[in-house]
């Protein structure tokens, strides 16, 4: 794509642009959530949408996450394509029955009778100093539910491409946004048919010595580490599984076959995290025979996110964790 067809914008604006384009293209797309109207959303993602689309399509809801998700499921099965904002991903706990027991299963348990085209936008992650109930990364829970799709963009372009694909998908898609990425800037395609296919892992940065799989803000830290290691002649290959579930493992397995070394990383707590699943699938695959060192899992500590800034930063993987991890794998420490 030519850069002339792209423009610089924030991750926040890219999500909004994606939603706006889809709402212009399809009148059945509606948007519901808490404070998304006049207020513009807790993180400003829905700013201006009420003015363009009106109260009929931008629906400010009561503070009832169960009703938001359940209403979306009911609307989706009867012909609308709802997009929901759950103000903080932490609050998905209040809507899980509608998502897990209803939305995710209806198609299967009804023998394929229905489609549930809906998107749940879930602002996640730490770094805002909002402590234990406003900072979690709960994606692993969602990746345990067949019927759901779980995607997470790490750049503005990915945000636009994935939100559009999520809205067009005929299944419930959990769209995880990292709050610390909202103000990050990148080039975004302006084409209103630009989408990113759900279910594809991409190579963010080619290399040959060590494979790193990461997403969200952790991906940015991995890239920083890779740039640093580049100066020492170490070529790190970084993969970004844009779709966490069902995950496209092929590029990861191919990369591990090439490098023989693997680091998986995320902010979510290490125990029971998505990283463990990636590792399990790698060791189940032909890549097992190519491993030259034990795999490293970088994840959040098994603690609730603490309030204090230093403690908060210490609870999740940082750039230096990647640098030391790579050294360890290459016996340089």
Residue 115 or 319: the one with the smaller Cβ distance to other proteins is 115
Active-site option among 22, 34, 85, 134: 134
Asked whether the beta carbons of 159 and 18 are under 8 A apart, the reply is yes
Return all residues near 238 (Cβ < 8 A) that are at least 6 apart: 203, 204, 205, 207, 211, 212, 213, 214, 219, 222, 223, 226
- Binding mask 299-328 vs other proteins (x if CB under 8 A, - otherwise)? ------------------------------
Is residue 158 a contact residue for other proteins (CB under 8 A)? no
DSSP string, 129-142: S--TTS----HHHH
Q: Which is nearer to other proteins, 30 or 326 (CB)?
A: 30
Cβ atoms within 10 Å, residue 290:
16
The only residue of 12, 121, 134, 149 in contact with other proteins, by rule CB under 8 A:
149
Binding segment (CB under 8 A) for other proteins, from list 98-106, 189-197, 201-209, 324-332: 98-106
Positions 104 through 143 that interact with other proteins (CB under 8 A): 106-117
**Dihedrals φ, ψ of 203, to 5°?**
-90, 115
> Rounded to an integer, what distance in angstroms lies between the CA atom of residue 72 and that of residue 69?
5
Nearer to other proteins, 113 or 308 (CB): 113
Q: Please state, in angstroms and as integers, the Cα–Cα distance from residue 286 to each residue in 63, 212, 236, 249, 291, following that order.
A: 49, 18, 21, 12, 10
* Catalytic (active site) residue 178: no
Q: How far is the CB of 99 from other proteins (least distance, A)?
A: 11
151 binds other proteins (CB under 8 A): no
Neighbour tally for 123: CB within 10 Å: 25
The answer to whether residue 81 forms part of the interface with other proteins (CB under 8 A) is no
Binding flag, residue 76, other proteins (CB under 8 A): yes
Question: Using CA atoms, how far apart are residues 33 and 87, in angstroms rounded to an integer?
Answer: 8
Smallest distance from other proteins to CB 66, Å: 5
The residue from 7, 35, 47, 74 that contacts other proteins (CB under 8 A) is: 74
Interface with other proteins includes 101 (CB under 8 A)?
yes
195 is a site residue for other proteins (CB under 8 A): no
Concatenated DSSP letters of 261-311? -EEEEEEEESTT-HHHHHHHHHHHSGGGGG--S--EEEEE-SSPPPSSHHH
Q: How far is the CB of 290 from other proteins (least distance, A)?
A: 30
Cis link prior to 246 (omega < 30° from 0)? yes
Annotated active-site residue 34? The verdict is no
DSSP-assigned letter for residue 128: S
Given the rule CB under 8 A, which residues bind other proteins?
A: 30, 56, 59, 61-62, 64, 66-67, 69-80, 82, 97-98, 101-102, 106-117, 146-147, 149, 170-171
Residues designated catalytic: 65, 134
């Amino acid at each position: 794509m030519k850069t002339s067809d792209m423009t610089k914008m924030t991750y926040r604006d890219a999500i909004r642009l994606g939603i706006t384009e889809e709402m212009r293209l399809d009148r059945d797309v509606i948007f519901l959530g808490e404070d998304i109207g006049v207020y513009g959303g807790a993180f400003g993602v829905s700013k201006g949408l009420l003015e363009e689309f009106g109260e009929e399509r931008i629906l400010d809801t009561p503070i009832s996450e169960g009703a938001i998700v359940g209403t979306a499921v009911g609307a989706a099965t009867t012909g609308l394509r709802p997009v929901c904002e759950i103000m903080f991903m932490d609050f998905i706990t209040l809507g899980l029955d509608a998502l897990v027991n209803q939305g995710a299963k209806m198609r299967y348990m009804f023998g394929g009778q229905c489609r549930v085209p809906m998107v749940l936008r879930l602002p996640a992650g730490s770094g805002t100093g909002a402590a234990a109930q406003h900072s979690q990364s709960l994606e692993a829970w969602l990746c345990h539910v067949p019927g759901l799709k779980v995607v997470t963009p790490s750049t503005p372009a990915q945000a636009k491409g994935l939100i559009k694909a999520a809205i067009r998908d005929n299944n419930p898609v959990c769209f995880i946004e990292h709050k610390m990425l909202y103000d990050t800037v990148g080039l975004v395609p302006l084409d209103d048919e630009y989408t990113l296919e759900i279910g594809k892992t991409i190579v963010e940065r080619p290399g040959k010595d060590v494979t790193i799989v990461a997403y969200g803000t952790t991906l940015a830290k991995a890239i920083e580490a890779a740039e640093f290691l580049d100066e020492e002649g170490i070529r790190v290959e970084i993969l970004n599984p844009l779709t966490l579930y069902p995950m496209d493992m092929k590029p990861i397995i191919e990369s591990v076959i090439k490098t023989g070394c693997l680091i998986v990383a995320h902010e979510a707590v290490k125990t029971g995290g998505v990283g463990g699943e990636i590792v399990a699938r790698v060791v189940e695959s032909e890549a097992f025979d190519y491993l030259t060192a034990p795999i490293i899992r970088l994840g959040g500590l098994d603690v609730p996110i603490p309030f204090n800034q230093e403690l908060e930063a210490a609870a999740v993987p940082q750039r230096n964790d990647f640098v030391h991890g790579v050294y360890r794998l290459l016996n340089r420490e």
